[in-house]
A and B are shown apart, each in its own frame.
Chain A
Amino acid sequence: MKTKIRVVLAILITAFVIGLTFNYISTHNLAVLNPKGVIAFEERKLLFITILLSALVVVPVFCLTIFISWKYRESNKKAKYSPHWDHDPKLEFAWWAIPVVIISILAVLTWQYSHSLDPFKPLQSNKQPLHVQVIALQWRWLFIYPDQHVAAVNTMPIQINRPINLHITSDAPMNSIWIPQLAGQIYAMSGMSTKLHLDARHPGVYKGVSANISGKGFAGMTFSVPATNNKEFNDWMKKAKKSNNVLTYEKYNELAKPSTNRQVILYSDVDNDLYNKVIMKYMQPSNGNNMTEMDMNHAR
Chain B
Amino acid sequence: MLGKLSLEAFKHDQIVMFGVMSMIGAGLLAVILLTVFKKWKWLYKEWLTTLDPKNIGIMYIFVAILMLLKGISDAGLMRVQQATSSGASEGIMSATHFQQIFSAHGTTMIFFVAMGLMFGLINLIVPLQIGARDVAFPLINAISFWLFVAGMLLINTSLAIGEFSAAGWLAYPPLSELAYSPGVGVDYWIWALQIAGIGSLLSGVNFITTILRMRCPGMKLMRMPLFCWSVLGSMTLVVSAFPILTVTLALLALDRYMGMHFFTSGFGGNPMMYVNLIWAWGHPEVYILILPAFGVFSEVVATFSKKRLFGYKYMVYAIIAITVLSYLVWLHHFFTMGAGANVNAFFGIMTMIIAIPTGVKVFNWLFTMYRGRVKFSVPMLWFLGFVFTFTIGGVTGVIMAVPPVDFQLHNSLFLVAHFHNMIIGGVVFGYLAAINYWFPKFFGFKLNERLGKLSFYFWIVGFATAFIPLYILGIMGATRRLNHYDASQGWQSLFIVAAFGALLIVIGIALLVAQIIVSVIKRKQNIDYNGDPWDARNLEWSTASPVPFYNFAVLPEVHDRNAWWDAKHKKHKITEPTVYDKIVLPKNTSIGFLIGVLAFMIGFGLVWHITWLAAAPFIVIVCLLIYRSNQENTEYTVPMSVIERIEKANKLKAQAS
* Chain A contacts for B367, CB-based, 8 A: 68, 88, 91
From B344, B359, B408, contact of A114 by CB (8 A): B344
Interface string of B402-440 (1 = CB under 8 A from A): 111111111110000000000000000000000000000
B341-382 interface code vs A (CB 8 A; 1 in, 0 out): 110110011001101100110111011111111111000000
A110 to chain B, nearest CB (A): 5
Tell me if A118 and B410 are in contact (CB < 8 A). Answer: no
Q: Determine the chain A residues whose CB is within 8 A of the CB of B352 once the complex forms.
A: 103, 106-107, 110
Interface stretch of the complex, out of B14-22, B221-229, B486-494, B641-649: B486-494
B356:A96 contact, CB within 8 angstroms: yes
Given contacts A110-B401, A296-B182, A299-B179, whether A68 and B477 have CB atoms under 8 Å apart is no
* B92: Cβ under 8 A from any A Cβ: no
A269-300 contacts to B, CB under 8 A, are: 281-283, 285, 288, 291-292, 295-296, 298-300
- Measured CB to CB, the closest approach of chain B to A239, in angstroms, equals 23
Contacts of A174 in B (CB 8 A): 172, 174-175, 271
Interface string of A139-155 (1 = CB under 8 A from B): 00000000000000000
Say which one of A72-80, A124-132, A240-248 lies at the interface with B.
Answer: A72-80
Contact with B along A89-113 (1 / 0, CB 8 A): 0011001100110010011011101
Is A184 within 8 A of B404, CB to CB? yes
Give Cα A109–Cα B399 distance, bound, in whole angstroms: 12
User: CA of A189 to CA of B476 in the docked complex: distance in angstroms?
Assistant: 25
Contact A219 B482 (CB under 8 A): yes
Chain A residues in 8 Å Cβ range of B376: 69, 73-74
Instruction: Tell yes or no: A178 within 8 A of B by CB.
Output: yes
Q: Which residues of A contact B265 (CB under 8 A)?
A: 190-191, 282, 295
A32→B493 contact, CB < 8 A: no
Q: Write the A178-210 contact mask toward B (1 if CB under 8 angstroms, else 0).
A: 101101111101110011000000000001011
Residues of A within 8 A of B395 (CB): 51, 54-55, 57-58
B479 at the binding interface (Cβ < 8 Å): yes
- Is A194 touching B338 in the complex (CB atoms < 8 A)? yes
List residues of chain A with CB within 8 A of the CB of B368.
86
Q: Whole-angstrom distance from the CB of A257 to the nearest CB of chain B?
A: 13
In the complex, chain A residues 41-97 whose Cβ is within 8 Å of any chain B Cβ: 42-44, 46-47, 50-51, 54-55, 57-58, 61-62, 64-65, 68-69, 72-74, 79-88, 91-92, 95-96
Q: Does A211 contact B (CB under 8 A)?
A: yes
| Max chain A Cβ within 10 angstroms of own Cβ: one of B175, B338, B342 | B338
B483 proximal to A (CB < 8 A): yes
Distance of B311 from chain A, by nearest CB (Å): 6
The answer to whether A189 touches B271 (Cβ under 8 A) is yes
With contacts A61-B391, A81-B373, A82-B371 known, is A51 near B399, CB below 8 A? yes
CB proximity to A under 8 Å, residues B153-196: 166-168, 172-175, 178-182
12 CB contacts below 8 A, A to B, read: A65-B387, A68-B370, A74-B376, A110-B352, A115-B341, A120-B338, A173-B174, A189-B337, A215-B180, A285-B267, A288-B266, A299-B178
